[in-house]
A and B are shown apart, each in its own frame.
Chain A
Amino acid sequence: MSWASQEDQLNEDSWLQTMEKEFEELHPEYDITWNNQVVSSADAATIAKQDPTVAADVFMYASDQLGTLKEANAIARMSDDAVEQIETQYEGSESMIQSVTGDDGYLYGAPFGGNTWFMYYRKSKFTEEDITSLDAMLAKGKVSFPLTNSWYLPAFYMGAGGTLFGEDGTDGEAGVQFGGDIGEAVTKYLIDLRNNPNFVNDSNGSGLAGLKSGAVDVVFSGSWDEPTVKENLGDDYGVAALPTFNLNGTAVQMKSFAGSTVVAWNPYTKHPKAADQFAAFLASTEAQRAHYEMRGTIPSDMTLASEPEIAENLVAKAQLETIARTSVVQPSIPEMANFWGPCENFGKSILGNEVTYDNARELTDKWMASYASLM
């Protein structure tokens, strides 16, 4: 049984079915009955941890769920062969391998695609110079940012030097460090941002709608929104890595989370060897190329990234540049699951005028204190 997203298994010619057929040809020794179910990579951990014994043999998950899956004993280590394959695929891209490495040093699953966000903008509004600075863009056009989304909000704090679970995101004891003087300064910057008439909060798709209607000139999102953005902007379509923002006079680089979509297998499967091989096969270079050709997803495989067709793709360029230069590997320890809720609430508090210049310090520290009590 395997879990994958809806779009990958629409019909017999979809990516997953095609890969299954190829896998059968590669391994005539197995007699496989395929049973495909729709479970998106974002939901895999939540569903798998409820009862791993009935979860899919092979499934896709978002790398930040690794800790949760490991804690639920719902994920298995990759075989020596698979590790070798992954190491060849990701030579020179440490962050991708790191995203699937457990705290015991073993590899849990094979990376299948990068997952991060960057910037789409209206080309005619800004110069090449403008797009490197958030403040310059705010002066010229309407900027939409998902302030109430905890996947985006930390970009400011992490850019300014805040850390999530230590330097490399694996130290649960270290906790979330967005407070102190830096945290206060960033919170104040965000208050200014909210008060800026050119700022629009992006929620429930208002950013993309704004691009279409002309009410918004910049949105922050990932490769999955590329088709919509292209359609909404037409010839004015621009895409770039993240800009800097002006924190008390110094330019600070915004830093997004980078993670990966991962193919892994379930330790409760009755056929561990076949499951391991199929998982590795689904993440292989050929499978990723097929996925790019069929669905236009940007592959994470470094050997593919240098192929001219992909290298010239603007979104692929922005994504690879973001992952390489302006990203923080999304922590995959179980404590990460507690991060999202309070962060979203803090974003809402900023947006709802609850956070002001006077209490910025106090509330930022209170936000941090809530993590201390949760972890």
Chain B
Amino acid sequence: MEATTGARPVRRGLLRRKADYIPPSRYTLRAALTDGDAFTRLSFLILGAGNIARKQILKGLLFLAVEIAYIAFMATSGAENLAMIPSLGWREQTAEKIDGYWHYTPGDNSVIVLLYGVATIFITLLFVVFWAYAVRSAYKAQLLAAETGSAPDFIQDWRNITDREAQVSLMALPVLGILIFSILPTLFMMCMAFTNYDSDHVLLFDWVGLENFGQLFSADGAVNASLFGEVLAWTLVWAFFATFLNFFLGLFLAMVINRPTTRLKGFWRAVFSLSIAVPQFVSLLVINQMLQPEGAINRLLMSWGWIDEALPFFTDATWARVTVIVVNLWIGIPFTIMQITGILQNIPAEQYEAARIDGANWWQTFTRITMPYLVFVLTPYLITTFTGNVNNFNVIYLLSNGNPTPVGATAGKTDLLITWLYKLTVDKGDYNLGAVIGIFTFITLAIVSLITYRSSASYKDEGGFR
């Protein structure tokens, strides 16, 4: 694309924009309807008709086959799936006794109804996109046939998408994967937030609109506004400390090890990385055991006579919160050391050299060279770490399990949104409330990451520091 713009004598700013400029396609649905001939218009109903008329037989047949497959799918099960969505099923299981033995006829299962319904809607949307593409393709074939004498045949098309338009064929599979494995399940989960799918409605449930969202902002109940606010605030506080304490302490250690006068660099790095070698969940469970009231740490301190009563590691809210943050340091710092060591070694030595000649002291080189460089490179990493910490299920669930939990509450003092979600869905079966909290976690994360990333140097000055 650079080559096409090179020759034009335009102002610099304009040229930059022009480089990525792609003119809108002239093969639009509207143009196909107004300017298309009979075959092209027939393609609105029978996909591929226009292509077949321009001797793109294989392509036309493929379009037609997709249409037939879609109609067949809708006729056999799709239409029924759609029809079931508004009610989410109503038939109950029935039993009858034959010769003293019970025989059962299964009833509707709302989860399945919902899943199939969402998938059918999804397939229909995909088909609409495909339909538009096929119609435009018919119109394009008509125009090309009129302009050049013949529309490209299948072999030419094939060459095209494997060579000049290779991005289309290369991206097709990943995009399809994202649609099927992340968008579809997300939509399915979000639908649950509008139903009463909880432990009391396991098989048959109904749409309830925004009731669950109302529940989240109500004054009482298993999930309520004050509890949500408290968990959300702690989640953000936790993510902040877990991210930045790890970062700065890891940075400090990495720089100490990286000093020219430090001997045995490899040895120190290996020592600090040892905790990575033990699987996280093992160390977390072991630490959980050690910090129990009758655990090793309390016993040791008591036998030394330092304390009279067990330290309330997971029974006092403040203690528990500090404990999870401190233990997380131990789990997380080694990774930061590794990460930062790599970047520190990558900072051009001439810059330090020049700074030294100019008479900069240690603090000045740190704030003017090291930090900007690190922050520039690491902002996206810090955002993902922050996101990861908001959803840091392992550390909280395995270490404190959300404790201490006040009497009668569904979330403990160290519960994050994600562990709360887990407790509501897996332990209690309240999938609807879980879905609502999932949606709010997503919103929180989206806001935080977008704001930080859009205002970071990595985004604004893409291509800097090359």
Contacts and interface: CB of A to CB of B under 8 A. Distances in A.
B203 interface: yes
Contacts of B93: 73, 267
Given A200-B294, A352-B315, A354-B315, A272 B101 contact: yes
> Looking at chain A's contact residues, is the secondary structure mostly helix, strand, loop, or mixed?
helix
Contact of B104 (A79, A272, A366, A369): A272
A71 B294 contact: no
Interface string B210-234: 0000000000111000000000000
Contact of B293 (A72, A201, A342, A373): A201
B428 interface: yes
Interface stretch (A9-17, A245-253, A283-291, A343-351): A343-351
A314 interface: no
A308 interface: no
B223 to A, nearest CB: 10
Contacts of A351: 293, 315
A73 B427 contact: no
Nearest to A265: B102
A85 B103 CA distance: 20
Query: Is the interface on chain A under 10, 10 to 19, 20 to 34, or 35 or more residues?
Result: 35 or more
Interface in A240-288: 267-268, 272-273, 276
Interface in B12-66: none
Contacts of B199: 334, 337-338
B202 A49 contact: yes
A129 interface: no
Contact of A345 (B106, B107, B407): B407
Interface in B261-284: none
B200 interface: yes
Interface string A46-67: 0001000100000000000000
Interface in B290-336: 292-294, 312, 315-316
Given A272-B104, A354-B315, A77 B220 contact: no
Interface string B335-368: 0000000000000000000000000000000000
Given A49-B202, A272-B101, A342 B316 contact: no
A203 B292 contact: yes
A354 B404 contact: yes
B464 interface: no
Contact of B100 (A53, A81, A346): A81
A342 B429 CA distance: 15
B315 A267 contact: no
Contacts of B200: 71, 334
Given A73-B93, A73-B203, A273-B101, A345 B405 contact: yes
B202 A348 contact: no
Contacts of A204: 289, 292
A341 interface: yes
Given A53-B106, A267-B95, A337-B199, A348 B100 contact: no
Interface in A330-374: 334, 337-338, 341-342, 345-346, 348-349, 351-355, 363, 366-367, 369-370, 373-374
A76 interface: yes
Contact of B107 (A73, A76, A349, A374): A73
Contacts of A49: 202, 429
Nearest to B199: A337
B100 A80 contact: yes
B203 A72 contact: yes
A18 interface: no
B225 to A, nearest CB: 14
Interface string B426-447: 0111000000000000000000
Secondary structure type dominating chain B contacts: loop
A36 interface: no
Nearest to A79: B101
A76 B294 contact: no
A77 B407 contact: no
B315 A203 contact: no
A270 to B, nearest CB: 11
Contacts of B315: 348, 351-354
Interface string A180-216: 0000000000000000000011011010000000000
Contact of A373 (B103, B104, B222, B403): B222
A341 B292 CA distance: 19
B202 A72 contact: yes
B409 interface: yes
Nearest to A364: B407
A79 to B, nearest CB: 4
Contact of B106 (A268, A276, A367): A268
B316 A77 contact: no
B313 to A, nearest CB: 10
B316 A352 contact: yes
B92 to A, nearest CB: 8
A334 B198 CA distance: 12
Contacts of A346: 407
Given A73-B106, A201-B294, A204-B289, A373 B202 contact: no
Given A71-B202, A206-B294, A267-B95, A367 B104 contact: no
Q: Which of A80, A200, A345 has the most CB of B within 10 A?
A: A345
Given A77-B95, A342-B408, A337 B429 contact: yes
Contacts of A352: 312, 315-316, 404
A65 to B, nearest CB: 12
A341 B428 contact: yes
Contacts of B100: 79-81
Given A337-B429, A373-B221, A367 B407 contact: yes
Contacts of B406: 345, 349, 354
25 contacts: A53-B106, A73-B107, A76-B102, A77-B102, A78-B102, A79-B101, A81-B100, A203-B292, A267-B102, A337-B199, A338-B428, A341-B427, A342-B407, A348-B403, A348-B404, A352-B312, A352-B315, A352-B404, A353-B315, A354-B404, A355-B407, A363-B407, A369-B408, A370-B408, A373-B408
Interface of B: 93, 95, 100-104, 106-107, 109, 199-200, 202-203, 220-222, 289, 292-294, 312, 315-316, 403-410, 423, 427-429
Given A73-B107, A79-B102, A201-B293, 5 more contacts: A49-B429, A276-B101, A349-B406, A352-B316, A367-B408
